[in-house]
Structure 1
């Protein structure tokens, strides 16, 4: 439950500190005093959209802080624990700061969080029913939300939403692939031709470099052989004038000289090793010359393959040595397009299965809604009778549309029907109910829903507009009864509702030094009598209105 609220520089509030109690709290005040400001500030603290215009003039920022006791709220405790924001004493402090530039900061138990996280937690703590709730009551999506809230079948709603999201995801993927398929039809045809052409050529990785080297060797075979033989003659086979002969003579000379000077032994050794290396090189040259073949046929084959490779490389605007890798890339691209086509076939089967699963979950949700609607029809009809609509009847009409395009809320169409006079047929709420009747029906629904939904704090912000007399008295009693199990905060202008509160706050506005200030103070019993008397007498308090106020307080608090 809400235990305290601190407001600084919000709207016409300079600073306001309010301690809250369990039961029903009524908030009354002068017209234009700002009875709903505390509710508006609390909404901001719970994550609603921040607006710099809400900051008090001449102030740089507005700050709102709310403290809650969550000892009996396991869902809120779990949420805080998962975010590592829990408090040992199981208190929860929400804080929101809005600056003049429109930016805001959100905090839970002193730690910075997002506004979305603040809002998610806030929905576990407080439900606010505004004064325009009866207007929302005419909208089918709101009607469906009320029925679902009463039914409490969150697991079925989650299942339908999950099935719908899965189905929708498959649908998007299918649509995207079909779009790609249409765009890639011409590209697929070109790729098939290109891959077929490169498959036929079948150039392997590294092959172009190999045939290029082989072409160089074959095209210069004569030069290679003649040059090798010429050099071999010079090095080894030209009688005593060969390089090897001269080198061997030098070896002999320095070998003899080293006997005279030991320092020449190194030179002698190096020359001897050079002679051995030269002999080995000559043997390699002879072997090479004998192995080189002149093969015109093979040379022609290689030239043709190189020519074809060069032509294909120009065609694909790449280097010849990149043809093999380019070939693989084109094949992969073609395979991807073909696999997309296969995926389309698979998706059509998966979509059919997902749609079937969605219809099963949506049907279960429809059955649950129908069961809850039957009970809700009886309760709301009874409440209408208690709210001075003795002949009123209420019914929820549900129609399951299996051909309806899937959505996350299921297959149901909904309409609230009502009859307010004897003999009058059931008709749509918007066509039958007057403004006052609509307010009473809306309030009846809100009280019934609130009594079923386990939100620890319920706030009713002038939901009793259009209600008076005995009806207002009954509304007050219902809200007080609800306050026995749930914390109820009600902003009201009706004395009958205000008298039903276990406690009451008074909101007043004052002007000081050309500045407007709003205050909100708790009333003791004597002050409550005066305030109820003011509400009864139209701002005129007399002994008569005081007596009436005391009587009303005693009756409504029973």
Structure 2
């Protein structure tokens, strides 16, 4: 719960230091004194947008600090622990706004984004403004009221998750369908190109190999004739060949080596040269035997090379790159075919996802109907207390065919304000005062369901008076018995129902306007409630009435 609030140089407030207590605290004051100033400051502290106009005239910055006791609030403790913002049972939130509109936010002394203040603030305080009744006619607000009352967070999350999954699949299908439409013409071309290359079936390195084979076959005669000529010179000529000449020289030098041993190595070299010539002649003979004269194969190679060159020109690549192109085109075609298969699979997945969505959305609808019936009953009972004795309130929940992340339901708040009238939508039959009372009844009922330890009602009693005002005070006090309630009001019946009361006043020193907020003792409360009853002229009668109002609760 909120335990203290410090405000410095905020709007027309120079300084406020307020201690807060459990139960219901009412805030009253003269018109224009700034009764809601503490609530506005607290809203800033909890992450509302900062503006330069919030800084008091002449000051360089505004500062708001709020202290909360969170020892009985596990959700807030978990948030602080999760974000490494301390681990104590006390939480201190501070917001500083400079004169240029820039702001800084702190949780337990650690600077944080304003968004974190909002997230934590939603666990600490729920603020209900004076214009809440204006939201009653909006379908989205009505749906949120039913869901808040039902408290079926898991069902709401299940529906949202199922809807997002369905949307994701449908988006994938739409994207894939569009892509396949664009690829339809491309697919026909790819099928033709891949079939053509499949038929030709050129392997990696094959073109280089057939070029070499073609070169050998087309030059077989030249190779045979040339090697034969050299074989004759080296070894086969009867009268004159290289081998016989080297052998003769080797024999001659070997004879001379008997006269001079220095010639022996030379003779050995010549004998070795002869052996080499003999081996070369043998290899040339083997090579000649391997030369093929195959005109048919040469013709096939001619055709394959020509076909490769033709395909290369068609695709504007080199013949050597044909296998890579073939692989790329096959992969592109496979991707399109896989997309076709994926599209077919998506149809089944979407059907399953939609069925799952309908299942969880139906569970949510059933829960909403149960909650709507109970809430209708409680609001009708509360309206009797709020001087709408013959009113009947009902919440109609109907399933629609249109899917959304919030389910299939349309919610319609209906009311029959008087006996004999049929239920009709609020927007058609409820007056402003009736809307205010219905809204207040709902706010109090919903607030009792919420886990936030502090509830703030900022002039939610606008448009009511007399016995109705007394009933409102009793409702809020009853709520304050179980949680901390802060209520800004102008009604004496509501003000007197509080466990505690603050008075807001305004003064002017000729240079600046000052707002003050002070806690009232019993005597001060009697004076203030008397002022609310009778205006500026407080008589003994109004004081007596004020005392009687207070005595109902104290």
Give the TM-score range, shorter chain: 0.7 to 0.9
Which structure 2 residues correspond to residues 249-264 of structure 1 after superposition, within 5 A?
A: none
Alpha-carbon distance in structure 2 between the residues aligned to 1:442 and 1:469 = 18
For residues 437 and 26 of structure 2, what CA distance do their matches in structure 1 show? 19
Counterpart of 1:458 in 2: which secondary structure?
A: strand
Structure 2 matches for 1:385-534, cutoff 5 A? 385-401=384-400, 404-511=401-508, 514-534=511-531
Give the Cα separation in 1 of the matches to 2:520 and 2:336: 76
Distance 1:295 1:140, change over 3 A: same
Find the counterpart in structure 2 of residue 143 from structure 1.
Answer: 142
The equivalent of 2:328 in structure 1 is 329
1:292–1:40: structure 2 CA closer, same or farther, 3 Å change rule?
farther
Structure-1 separation of matches of 2:325 and 2:122: 58
Q: Partner of 1:27: helix, strand, or coil? A: strand
Q: How many residues are treated as equivalent by the alignment?
A: 548
> Taking structure 1 as reference, are residues 285 and 19 closer, same or farther at Cα in structure 2, changes over 3 Å only?
farther
**Structure 1 contact 244–279 (Cα < 8 Å) conserved:** no
The residue number in structure 1 matching 2:42 is 42
Paired position in structure 2 for 1:201: 200
Deviation of residue 373 (structure 1)?
Answer: 1.8
CA contact (8 A) 1:85 1:111 kept: no
Structural mapping, 1:62-73, within 5 Å: 62-73=62-73
When the two structures are superposed, what TM-score results if normalisation uses the length of structure 1? Answer: 0.86
| CA distance, structure 2, for counterparts of residue 268 and residue 535 of structure 1 | 141
Q: Which residue of 1 aligns with 2:76?
A: 76
| TM-score, with structure 2 as normaliser | 0.87
**C-alpha distance in structure 1 between counterparts of 2:382 and 2:209, whole Å:** 94
1:542 Cα shift?
4.5
In structure 2, the residue matched to 1:179 is 178
CA shift in 2, pair 1:218/1:495, >3 Å: farther
**Which protein is bigger by CA-based radius of gyration?**
2
CA distance in 1, matches of 2:222, 2:15: 104
1:169 equivalenced with 2:190 (yes/no):
no
CA deviations 1:127-162 (Å, max 9, x no partner) are 111111101011122111111111111122122222
Aligned counterparts of 1:484 and 1:286: Cα–Cα separation in 2: 118
- Tell me how far 1:235 sits from its aligned partner: 7.1
Paired residues for 1:64-463 under 5 Å:
64-81=64-81, 83-85=82-84, 87-98=86-97, 104-225=103-224, 245=246, 287-401=286-400, 404-463=401-460
CA spacing shift, 1:344–1:55, aligned 2, 3 Å: farther
Distance 2:513 2:273 in 1: 110
Question: What is the CA-CA distance between 1:71 and the residue it aligns to?
Answer: 1.6
Tell me the distance in 1 between the aligned counterparts of 2:484 and 2:332.
Answer: 65
In 2: Cα distance, 1:8 partner to 1:234 partner: 117
- Closer, same or farther in 2 for the Cα pair 1:317/1:32, shift >3 Å? farther
| Residue 451 (structure 1) shift | 0.9
- 1:518–1:203 Cα change, 3 Å: farther
Contact 2:469 2:491 in 1 (8 A): yes
| Deviations, residues 300-352 of structure 1 (Å, cap 9, x unaligned) | 32232222222222222333222212212221221221222222222222222
| Among candidates 534, 541, 548, match of residue 551 of structure 1 | 548
Q: Cα RMSD (Å) of the superposition? A: 3.6
Residues 375/217 of structure 1: CA separation in 2 closer, same or farther (3 Å cut): same
- Can you give the 5+ residue segments of structure 2 that lack an aligned partner in the other structure? none
Gaps of 5+ in 1: none
SS in 1 for 2:451: coil
User: Structure 1 pair 276/450, CA: closer, same or farther in 2 (3 Å)?
Assistant: farther
Do the aligned partners of residues 304 and 476 (structure 1) sit closer, same or farther apart at CA in structure 2, a change above 3 Å counting? Answer: same
* d(CA) in 1 for partners of 2:128, 2:317: 70
Return closer, same or farther for 1:326/1:106 CA change in 2, 3 Å cut-off: farther
Shift in Å at residue 268 of structure 1?
12
Secondary structure of the 2:388 match is coil
Judged with a 3 Å threshold, the aligned counterparts in structure 2 of structure 1 residues 43 and 302 are, in CA distance, closer, same or farther, namely farther
